[in-house]
Amino acid sequence: MKLMRLGFVLGFVIWAAATALFVPLGRFVFGPDNRLPVALSTTLIVAATFLALYRIARRVMPNPAERTVERAVSFGACACLPGLLLDGALYAFNGGRYPGLDASASGAMTAALLPAYAAALLGALSAASSATRPTTGRPSETVRTRGGAPSPP
Protein backbone atom coordinates (compact mmCIF):
# COMPACT_ATOMS: atom_id res chain seq x y z
CA MET A 1 0.00 0.00 0.00
CA LYS A 2 2.89 2.32 0.80
CA LEU A 3 4.30 1.74 -2.69
CA MET A 4 0.96 2.62 -4.28
CA ARG A 5 0.69 5.84 -2.25
CA LEU A 6 4.20 6.75 -3.29
CA GLY A 7 3.19 6.12 -6.91
CA PHE A 8 0.19 8.45 -6.60
CA VAL A 9 2.27 11.22 -5.03
CA LEU A 10 5.01 10.79 -7.61
CA GLY A 11 2.47 10.81 -10.43
CA PHE A 12 0.96 14.04 -9.18
CA VAL A 13 4.38 15.70 -8.85
CA ILE A 14 5.36 14.64 -12.37
CA TRP A 15 2.02 15.84 -13.75
CA ALA A 16 2.33 19.21 -11.98
CA ALA A 17 5.88 19.75 -13.24
CA ALA A 18 5.01 18.74 -16.81
CA THR A 19 1.89 20.91 -16.81
CA ALA A 20 3.87 23.87 -15.48
CA LEU A 21 6.24 23.46 -18.45
CA PHE A 22 3.75 22.63 -21.19
CA VAL A 23 1.12 25.28 -20.50
CA PRO A 24 3.41 28.27 -21.18
CA LEU A 25 5.86 26.54 -23.57
CA GLY A 26 3.66 23.98 -25.30
CA ARG A 27 2.68 26.25 -28.19
CA PHE A 28 6.35 26.55 -29.20
CA VAL A 29 6.87 22.80 -29.20
CA PHE A 30 3.49 21.52 -30.39
CA GLY A 31 2.57 24.29 -32.83
CA PRO A 32 1.11 23.41 -36.26
CA ASP A 33 4.24 24.42 -38.18
CA ASN A 34 6.64 22.44 -36.01
CA ARG A 35 6.40 18.94 -37.50
CA LEU A 36 10.02 17.93 -36.85
CA PRO A 37 10.16 19.41 -33.34
CA VAL A 38 6.87 17.66 -32.49
CA ALA A 39 8.24 14.28 -33.54
CA LEU A 40 11.54 14.93 -31.80
CA SER A 41 9.96 16.24 -28.61
CA THR A 42 7.49 13.32 -28.53
CA THR A 43 10.37 10.87 -28.85
CA LEU A 44 12.31 12.64 -26.11
CA ILE A 45 9.28 12.81 -23.81
CA VAL A 46 8.55 9.10 -24.24
CA ALA A 47 12.20 8.08 -23.74
CA ALA A 48 12.63 10.33 -20.70
CA THR A 49 9.41 9.04 -19.15
CA PHE A 50 10.45 5.42 -19.65
CA LEU A 51 13.90 5.99 -18.14
CA ALA A 52 12.57 8.06 -15.25
CA LEU A 53 10.01 5.47 -14.17
CA TYR A 54 12.50 2.64 -14.65
CA ARG A 55 15.04 4.33 -12.37
CA ILE A 56 12.45 5.44 -9.83
CA ALA A 57 10.91 1.96 -9.65
CA ARG A 58 14.34 0.44 -9.06
CA ARG A 59 15.02 3.02 -6.36
CA VAL A 60 11.73 2.58 -4.48
CA MET A 61 12.05 -1.21 -4.73
CA PRO A 62 15.77 -1.66 -4.05
CA ASN A 63 15.57 -5.36 -3.19
CA PRO A 64 15.34 -7.43 -6.41
CA ALA A 65 13.14 -9.97 -4.60
CA GLU A 66 10.45 -7.33 -4.02
CA ARG A 67 10.49 -6.13 -7.65
CA THR A 68 7.75 -8.48 -8.76
CA VAL A 69 5.72 -7.83 -11.87
CA GLU A 70 2.60 -7.22 -9.79
CA ARG A 71 4.28 -4.62 -7.56
CA ALA A 72 5.94 -2.90 -10.51
CA VAL A 73 2.71 -2.72 -12.51
CA SER A 74 0.75 -1.39 -9.54
CA PHE A 75 3.46 1.23 -8.90
CA GLY A 76 3.48 2.25 -12.58
CA ALA A 77 -0.31 2.38 -12.77
CA CYS A 78 -0.51 4.46 -9.60
CA ALA A 79 2.12 6.82 -10.99
CA CYS A 80 0.15 7.24 -14.24
CA LEU A 81 -3.33 7.53 -12.78
CA PRO A 82 -3.13 11.10 -11.38
CA GLY A 83 -1.79 12.45 -14.66
CA LEU A 84 -4.35 10.62 -16.78
CA LEU A 85 -7.23 11.81 -14.60
CA LEU A 86 -5.99 15.39 -14.28
CA ASP A 87 -5.07 15.71 -17.97
CA GLY A 88 -8.48 14.35 -18.90
CA ALA A 89 -10.22 16.81 -16.59
CA LEU A 90 -8.08 19.71 -17.76
CA TYR A 91 -8.79 18.84 -21.39
CA ALA A 92 -12.52 18.40 -20.80
CA PHE A 93 -13.05 21.56 -18.74
CA ASN A 94 -11.21 23.71 -21.27
CA GLY A 95 -13.43 22.80 -24.19
CA GLY A 96 -11.25 20.04 -25.66
CA ARG A 97 -8.02 22.03 -25.47
CA TYR A 98 -5.13 22.34 -23.11
CA PRO A 99 -4.69 25.79 -21.57
CA GLY A 100 -2.50 28.01 -23.72
CA LEU A 101 -2.67 25.75 -26.78
CA ASP A 102 -4.82 25.95 -29.88
CA ALA A 103 -6.77 22.93 -31.16
CA SER A 104 -4.01 21.51 -33.38
CA ALA A 105 -1.33 21.94 -30.71
CA SER A 106 -3.65 20.28 -28.17
CA GLY A 107 -4.01 17.30 -30.48
CA ALA A 108 -0.25 17.04 -30.93
CA MET A 109 0.28 17.24 -27.19
CA THR A 110 -2.31 14.53 -26.59
CA ALA A 111 -0.57 12.37 -29.19
CA ALA A 112 2.67 12.83 -27.21
CA LEU A 113 1.13 12.20 -23.79
CA LEU A 114 -0.53 8.87 -24.50
CA PRO A 115 2.71 7.09 -25.52
CA ALA A 116 4.45 8.77 -22.57
CA TYR A 117 1.97 7.23 -20.13
CA ALA A 118 2.46 3.84 -21.80
CA ALA A 119 6.24 4.32 -21.52
CA ALA A 120 5.84 5.03 -17.81
CA LEU A 121 4.06 1.72 -17.31
CA LEU A 122 6.64 -0.11 -19.40
CA GLY A 123 9.48 1.56 -17.49
CA ALA A 124 8.12 0.34 -14.17
CA LEU A 125 7.50 -3.12 -15.63
CA SER A 126 11.05 -3.25 -17.01
CA ALA A 127 12.40 -2.60 -13.53
CA ALA A 128 10.69 -5.81 -12.42
CA SER A 129 11.83 -7.89 -15.36
CA SER A 130 15.43 -6.75 -14.91
CA ALA A 131 15.32 -8.15 -11.37
CA THR A 132 14.46 -11.62 -12.62
CA ARG A 133 17.23 -11.88 -15.20
CA PRO A 134 20.41 -13.65 -14.12
CA THR A 135 23.38 -11.35 -13.64
CA THR A 136 25.92 -13.86 -14.98
CA GLY A 137 25.78 -16.54 -17.61
CA ARG A 138 27.30 -19.14 -15.28
CA PRO A 139 25.08 -21.66 -13.52
CA SER A 140 25.07 -21.29 -9.75
CA GLU A 141 25.15 -25.03 -9.15
CA THR A 142 25.65 -28.26 -11.04
CA VAL A 143 22.45 -29.60 -12.54
CA ARG A 144 21.94 -33.36 -12.44
CA THR A 145 20.63 -35.12 -15.53
CA ARG A 146 18.32 -38.17 -15.61
CA GLY A 147 21.13 -40.66 -15.27
CA GLY A 148 22.43 -38.96 -12.14
CA ALA A 149 25.64 -37.73 -13.71
CA PRO A 150 26.34 -34.01 -13.36
CA SER A 151 25.93 -31.96 -16.51
CA PRO A 152 29.02 -30.14 -17.79
CA PRO A 153 29.25 -26.46 -16.76
> Could you report the per-residue pLDDT of 22-77, keeping only the tens digit for each?
888 888 888 777 767 788 888 999 999 999 999 999 999 888 888 899 999 999 99
Residue 105's pLDDT is what? 83
46 and 52 in contact (C-beta within 8 Å)?
A: no
Residue that wins the pLDDT comparison between 48 and 140: 48
Residue 130's pLDDT is what? 67
Helix (H) or strand (E) holding 35: helix 35-60
75 and 7 in contact (C-beta within 8 Å)?
A: yes
State what percent of residues in the chain have pLDDT above 70.
84
Residue 36's pLDDT is what? 73
Please state, as a whole number, how many other Cβ atoms lie within 10 Å of the Cβ of residue 54.
Answer: 22
pTM above 0.85, yes or no: no
